[in-house]
């Protein structure tokens, strides 16, 4: 019996322009993008450079979420898959630092709370994980 094709972490299907807005990933991408843009004044007020970083950060949240769901569904995964999750989370933390969003801003209901697994259990928030990683890294020497 032929197995159903599953996208990989670098799949074109998970790129922002290829995600169907009706899917769970599409809704997470849209909600995350709006949530990240809110402290910057909204999507209409950010510049082109900030918009590029916002788009990539939202895409990384979807990739981290996809990898996390895969890790939880399959249990033990190859070390390489776990490393990819950390790579995306670290890159997300750097994007958030570049945007100045790693402070203690109060946010409304997060995309994490709206997007749930099929059994309706809350999913760990990749943004929070990225913030923890960024705060644990030593400050660069000047």
pTM of the model: 0.58
Residue 4 within any structural domain of the chain: no
Residue 116, strand partner residues: 122
Backbone phi and psi for residue 116, each to the nearest 5 degrees, phi listed first:
-125, 165
Using CA atoms, how far apart are residues 32 and 106, in angstroms rounded to an integer? 15
Spatial contact of 27 and 115, defined as CB atoms under 8 Å apart:
yes
Token pair recorded at residue 50: 């900030």
CB-based burial, 85-115: b 16+ in 10 Å, e otherwise: beebbbbbbbbbeebebbeeeeeeeebbeeb
Residue 7 within any structural domain of the chain: no
Q: How many domains does the chain have?
A: 1
Q: State whether the Cα torsion 9-11-125-50 is positive or negative.
A: positive
Residue-level pLDDT, tens digit, the chain, 142 residues: 566 555 555 555 555 556 666 777 788 888 888 888 888 888 888 888 898 999 999 888 888 888 888 888 887 777 888 888 889 889 999 998 888 887 644 444 444 444 444 444 555 667 776 777 667 666 656 5
Q: Which domain holds residue 19?
A: 12-136
């Amino acid at each position: 019996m032929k197995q159903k094709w599953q996208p990989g972490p670098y799949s074109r299907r998970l790129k922002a322009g290829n995600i169907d807005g009706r899917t769970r990933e599409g809704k997470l991408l849209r909600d995350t993008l709006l949530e990240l843009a809110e402290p910057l004044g909204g999507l209409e007020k950010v510049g082109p450079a900030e918009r590029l970083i916002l788009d990539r950060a939202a895409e990384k949240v979807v990739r981290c979420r996809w990898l996390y769901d895969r890790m939880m569904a399959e249990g033990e995964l190859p070390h390489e898959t776990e490393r990819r999750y950390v790579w995306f989370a670290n890159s997300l933390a750097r994007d958030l630092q570049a945007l100045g969003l790693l402070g203690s801003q109060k946010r409304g209901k997060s995309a994490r709370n709206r997007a749930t697994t099929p059994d309706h259990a809350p999913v760990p928030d990749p943004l929070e994980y990225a913030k923890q990683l960024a705060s644990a890294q030593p400050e660069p020497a000047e």
